[in-house]
């Protein structure tokens, strides 16, 4: 016996279309900073698309970012999971960097931006993020931690000397 078309699972194209509609709705709420509503729509897009869909990681990263913005830090794990396997959409790395920055993880945010720029060196969002975060100089004594007293004192001294010359 064959299942009727009403009870059959939706086709891959129909699921992809549904996922895209939910994603578009999520983006509309994301732009309005309505994080929880946006996260729900992105979650629906994730479920509709399935793990083998080429935009799955993008949908997942937006869901995670919205969760972080709404105060749910577990969203960071979604962003990290999405970024770990992403090789196509640099926006996934932008979302990870934004989530990391929101939670005060500057070093991880810098790493996400660097990886994102390796995917798309001209991505304007990544370039803007890199500029906004600033670039640190390497520590004067690289074998010591950046926070070590000697690195801090020597760094200040060399910074002042560098800017006094210019």
Same domain, 48 and 107: yes
Assign residue 84 the CATH number of its domain.
1.25.40.10
Cα–Cα distance, 75 to 91 (Å, whole number): 16
Same domain, 125 and 156: no
Q: Total domain count for the chain?
A: 2
One digit per residue, the tens of pLDDT, for the chain of length 166 reads 444 444 456 788 899 999 999 999 999 999 999 999 999 999 999 999 988 899 999 999 999 999 999 999 999 999 999 999 888 899 999 999 999 999 999 989 999 999 999 999 999 999 999 988 886 778 899 999 989 999 999 988 887 777 666 5
- For 5-148, where are the alpha helices, taking DSSP H only? 12-31, 35-49, 56-69, 75-84, 90-102, 106-119, 124-133
Same domain, 127 and 147: no
Same domain, 121 and 64: yes
What is the predicted pLDDT for the residue at 126? Answer: 94
Residue 6 maps to a domain:
no
What is the predicted pLDDT for the residue at 143? Answer: 93
Tell me the residue range of the domain where 156 lies. 139-166
Same domain, 95 and 166: no
What is the separation of C-alpha 132 from the centre of its chain, rounded to a whole number of angstroms? Answer: 15
What is the predicted pLDDT for the residue at 85? Answer: 86
């Amino acid at each position: 016996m064959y299942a009727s078309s009403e009870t059959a699972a939706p086709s891959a194209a129909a699921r992809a279309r549904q996922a895209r509609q939910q994603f578009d709705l999520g983006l509309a709420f994301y732009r309005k900073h309505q994080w929880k509503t946006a996260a729900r729509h992105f979650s629906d897009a994730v479920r509709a698309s399935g793990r083998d869909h080429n935009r799955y990681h993008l949908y997942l990263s937006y869901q995670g970012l919205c969760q972080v913005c709404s105060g749910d830090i577990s969203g960071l794990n979604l962003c990290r999971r999405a970024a770990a396997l992403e090789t196509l959409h640099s926006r996934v790395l932008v979302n990870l960097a934004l989530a990391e920055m929101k939670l005060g993880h500057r070093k991880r945010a810098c790493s996400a931006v660097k990886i994102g720029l390796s995917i798309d060196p001209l991505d304007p969002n990544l370039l803007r993020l890199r500029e906004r975060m600033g670039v640190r100089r390497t520590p004067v004594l690289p074998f010591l931690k950046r926070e070590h007293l000697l690195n801090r004192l020597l760094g200040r001294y060399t910074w002042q000397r560098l800017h006094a010359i210019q």
